[in-house]
Amino acid sequence: MTPSFEKYKGIHPGVILERELKKRNIKKRPFALSLKEYPQIINDVSKGKRGLTPSLSIKIDKALDLEEGTMLVLQAYYEIKKERLVKDDKPDLKVLRKALFWDTDIKQIDWKAQYRAVIKRVFERGNNEEKAELERFYGLTKVKKVLADTELNIDQSSSSAIF
């Protein structure tokens, strides 16, 4: 995989495909037909609704003059990231109300990368049980550091009640 594609690890390859086609001013339908694939397949891949198969990946790599296997490697990294998110990298979602995260799909939150926003949100609007769950998941030190770094006047008396 070329170094220019290294930064895309973990992103669905369809998003990268869409970007590459746009950069090269290529329409999806003619591109799909040139690969002898149904346009719906390329459209689904570019929208992230479908993954890449090895044969489709090779065709795309060849058509876009990419190193063979680039798109398939991106697909593999995307699958790894998706699996990592499914694993135990999240707090107990039964404790957290979905209403706390009304503006996003709670299943899509990257709990490790977006910890500051999650902690702020829960300590602004959450109940004591939800705050305690975040303290368990992130650790009291990390929660206190995030709260100290923010200008929020959050009642921290509810925190550390469990510890």
- The CATH number for 78's domain is 1.10.260.40
- pLDDT for the residue 89: 74
Reported as a single tens digit per residue, the pLDDT across 80-128 is 988 876 666 789 889 999 999 999 988 889 898 899 999 999 999 999 9
SS (HEC) of 28-90: HHHHHHHCCCCHHHHHHHHCCCCCCCHHHHHHHHHHCCCCCCHHHHHHHHHHHHHHHHHCCCC
Residue whose tokens read 């329409």: 27
Instruction: Please tell me whether residues 63 and 120 are part of one structural domain.
Output: no
- pLDDT for the residue 87: 65
Instruction: Please tell me whether residues 58 and 78 are part of one structural domain.
Output: yes
Instruction: Please tell me whether residues 98 and 72 are part of one structural domain.
Output: no
> Looking at 52, 71, 86, which one is the last position of a domain?
86
C-alpha gyration radius of the chain: 21
> What is the reported pTM?
0.56
Reported as a single tens digit per residue, the pLDDT across 39-73 is 999 999 999 999 999 999 999 999 999 999 999 99
Reported as a single tens digit per residue, the pLDDT across 129-152 is 999 999 999 999 999 999 998 865
- Structure tokens, 14: 């369809």
Reported as a single tens digit per residue, the pLDDT across 20-37 is 999 999 999 999 999 999
Domain count, the chain: 2
Residue 158 has pLDDT above 80, yes or no: no
